[in-house]
Structure 1
Amino acid sequence: MAAITAQGDNPKIIKLYGTIDPTSADNGGPYTSTTDQAARLQIRLGSNTTLIGMGGDTKLVNANIVINGKQNVIVRNINIVNPCDIVPVWDPNDGSAGNWNSEYDGVTILASKNVWIDHNVFTDAPKTDDQLPIENGKIKECHDGALDVKNGSDYVTVSNNRFELHEKNNLIGSSDSKTSDDGHLTVTFNNNHFLNVAERAPRVRFGKVHIYNNYFEGSRSHPIYPHQYSIGVAYKAKIISQNNAFDIAGATSCSNIMTNPGSSSKTGAVTDAGSLLNGGALTAGGACSFSSAVGWTLPYSAPLLDASAVKAAVLGNAGTGKITVR
């Protein structure tokens, strides 16, 4: 934290070793209140910053990396344990029966440009949702997102990560009412492993999002994180999907993979080419009944693998401990 503060927006590489935990005994111990958690949990990175783990065992727990209004930021090779809000809030008007809502993601990207999130692991473990209490008939959910991109951020690449054991994984665009996001939220997801992620991998509003060569692995009957959908085609989403591999036990059609999780009157557009669902063609366009009028073309040429080769390539490369750091 001293290195981050001292260098501000100057170019810097910050190397992490071992486990970093804001709630360690020498830093005040467990959070005592919402005010205390907000003050100690957030790690706010400056522009021109690389934050990198120096070994496959580098771990960040009980913390939220925040990139807000910054440019040229890299986060690599860190095992990120998604933080747990100590005081979730019950909202009786959220959904048909109410829901618990919590704050704090593993990584939050706001109003920023040129951000690279690469070769990390995001997980709820060891505090998975089956260990949380039931109140008001619902799990008292303390986890928010794993990695969210909001407030007009652009040119964000999310590559070679493993996202595992999480409910609401990646939110691109915060709400239907934030129309200033339209034309922004340009994000690429490539070569990631989504393992037992229930939903939002990602959920997109407004964004121009390219999703290619990712491997999705899960089950609609998983005991803790049953698969609901992978790609959320929400309000004015503009998604180009290519050569992804979905191995989801119990999923039978594209509608199990791509859905509009919001209002039926506020949907988006998606194209897919070359993706597989349990070894067969996903055929997203017709089978999912979304518009294919995404309104943009890729500004780069991606090195696409055939979807049949994605599983082996991703399992061999995604996550921590797979890159050489010095």
Structure 2
Amino acid sequence: MESMMKLVGFVFALSLAALVPSLEAHIGEFDDYWQKRAEKAQKAALEAYSPDPENVTSHFNLRVHKLLGGSNSTRRQLHMHKHSGPCLATNPIDRCWRCRKNWAKDRKRLAKCVLGFGRKTTGGLKGKYYVVYDPSDKDVMNPKPGTLRHAVIQKRPLWITFARSMTIMLNQELMVASHKTIDARGANVQIAYGAGITIQFVRNVIIHGLRIHDIVAKPGGLIRDSVNHFGYRTMSDGDGISIFGSTNVWIDHVSMARCQDGLIDVIEGSTAITISNGHYTHHNDVMLFGASDVFSGDKKMQVTVAFNHFGKGLIQRMPRCRWGFVHVVNNDYTHWLMYAIGGSSQPTIISQGNRFIAPPNMAAKEVTKRDYATPDVWHSWTWRSQGDLMMNGAFFVQSGRPLAKKFGKRDMIKAKPGTFVTRLTRFSGTLNCKPKRKC
């Protein structure tokens, strides 16, 4: 009954905040084509929304617990990409595929490995392979076959790989269609010095193994977003990855730095998202979940942030949340200048088993920051910390109700405590995978 009431309430909220074009949509003309895409995206979001989000977090925690058993580690071995010993897969997502010698022949196994709210994401699992061999991006209206832009706009599902290492400088934002996997394993693929990646009004996308850095805003213009449609786009913001009105998206093992706006945005009715195993450095606004304090359509937003390393040169928003439900679990926060996790508009934030190392600045020891609300308002927001490791004076200001205990003991196994984080995030960021060798 309680689940049904939640779902009814969600549908009511969704009807009050229909998915309509906003100032951040970058769609020059919201024509019939974009209206239909928005309506399909809204329907997909409703289907992907979980009325019992704590059940999803419990399932995630159970998988971590099973992998680690009773072992522990407090070793400060961060990002040892030069590791030369036997293959080590230190968290349940990586354990699913990394230490298989034939990973390059069975790339699509990756689609079975996602956990968290994006757990149903399969990307291009049902499609053919598409090999990108040309790094150019000269014609955004008629992309050249063999380029990444030509691959991502195709109608059919595709599993996109790269023939060799390359740097791709995008002349305009890269519009990714539904049912695509961008799989950079086995090559050093950099998206840099141009526009970023846009996932707008689509579903079922995996991005794995890209290095995304030095992204800049672009003036817009006519851009092809599918094989049978192009339209006018306004100026892009300079985000590394922008997820807009989209569902079932998994971002895994990316390394990101220095984007003109945010590294990753999840906004405007997006849900069923997992962001895992990433390495983020040298940036101000790292992650933004929910772009507006007035767009209550983001109440359905559900995001898992797991096994990431938030590293050198970061300032704030890891993430910053509006509305929605965000599970921040087993991440390593070694640097921030202002705060780590923030938000407004009553988001639910569950922080479990993270390590927070506060900066030397005495004014920045607090992990959390609540905007545009006084304590008498935000005291009811559910921001809970469980098993987090607080170091160098870090502290998390909790609020709202404790986590529900309506599930059985098997489901309510807690996330591993923050002392396990160095192990769980040891190989965050892009990996040096080579065919015929364990990754």
TM-score where L is the length of structure 1: 0.72
* 1:231 partnered with 2:341: yes
AA at the equivalent of 2:172: L
User: Do 2:387 and 2:416's aligned partners in 1 also have CA atoms closer than 8 Å?
Assistant: no
* 1:53 partnered with 2:184: yes
1-side partners of 2:406 and 2:267: how far apart? 22
Alignment equivalent of 1:245, drawn from 336, 355, 361: 355
* 1:193 partnered with 2:296: no
* 1:109 partnered with 2:243: yes
User: Do 2:287 and 2:318's aligned partners in 1 also have CA atoms closer than 8 Å?
Assistant: yes
Q: CA deviation at 1:323?
A: 5.5
User: Do 1:104 and 1:145's aligned partners in 2 also have CA atoms closer than 8 Å?
Assistant: yes
How many percent identity over aligned positions?
A: 27
2-side partners of 1:216 and 1:240: how far apart? 15
Distance 1:50 1:277, change over 3 A: same
Question: Residues 12-44 of structure 1, C-alpha deviation per residue, up to 9 Å, x if partnerless?
Answer: 111134233336xxxxxxxxxxxxxxxx32111
Give the match for residue 291 of structure 2.
Answer: 174
Alignment equivalent of 1:2, drawn from 136, 146, 150: 150
Q: CA deviation at 1:163?
A: 1.0
CA RMSD of aligned residues (A): 3.1
Q: CA deviation at 1:82?
A: 4.2
Alignment equivalent of 2:399, drawn from 277, 290, 294: 290
SS at match of 2:292: coil
Distance 1:303 1:65, change over 3 A: farther
User: Do 1:56 and 1:320's aligned partners in 2 also have CA atoms closer than 8 Å?
Assistant: no
SS at match of 2:282: strand
Give the match for residue 198 of structure 2.
Answer: 66
SS at match of 1:249: coil
Give the match for residue 12 of structure 1.
Answer: 158
Q: Where is the strand percentage greater, Structure 1 or Structure 2?
A: 1
Q: CA deviation at 1:280?
A: 7.2
2-side partners of 1:270 and 1:254: how far apart? 18
AA at the equivalent of 2:197: I
Q: Where is the helix percentage greater, Structure 1 or Structure 2?
A: 2
SS at match of 1:256: coil
Please list, as runs of the form range in 1=range in 2, the aligned pairs for 1:252-291 lying within 5 A after superposition.
Answer: 256-264=366-374, 267=378, 268-278=381-391, 282=395, 284=396, 288=397, 290-291=399-400
AA at the equivalent of 2:166: T
AA at the equivalent of 1:120: V
2-side partners of 1:303 and 1:51: how far apart? 33
User: Do 1:214 and 1:310's aligned partners in 2 also have CA atoms closer than 8 Å?
Assistant: yes
User: Do 1:110 and 1:149's aligned partners in 2 also have CA atoms closer than 8 Å?
Assistant: yes
Give the match for residue 257 of structure 2.
Answer: 123
Question: Residues 105-151 of structure 1, C-alpha deviation per residue, up to 9 Å, x if partnerless?
Answer: 10000111111000000111xxxxxxxxxxxxxxxxx7111000001
SS at match of 1:211: strand
Q: Answer with 253-262 or 206-215: which moved more.
A: 253-262
Question: Residues 281-324 of structure 1, C-alpha deviation per residue, up to 9 Å, x if partnerless?
Answer: 84x3xxx25334688999x778833211202431x210001556
Distance 1:56 1:311, change over 3 A: farther
For structure 1, the 5+ residue unaligned runs are 24-39, 88-101, 125-141, 220-226
SS at match of 2:335: strand
Q: CA deviation at 1:72?
A: 1.0
Distance 1:214 1:145, change over 3 A: same
Q: CA deviation at 1:160?
A: 0.2
Alignment equivalent of 1:22, drawn from 164, 169, 178: 169
AA at the equivalent of 2:326: V
Alignment equivalent of 1:83, drawn from 211, 215, 228: 215
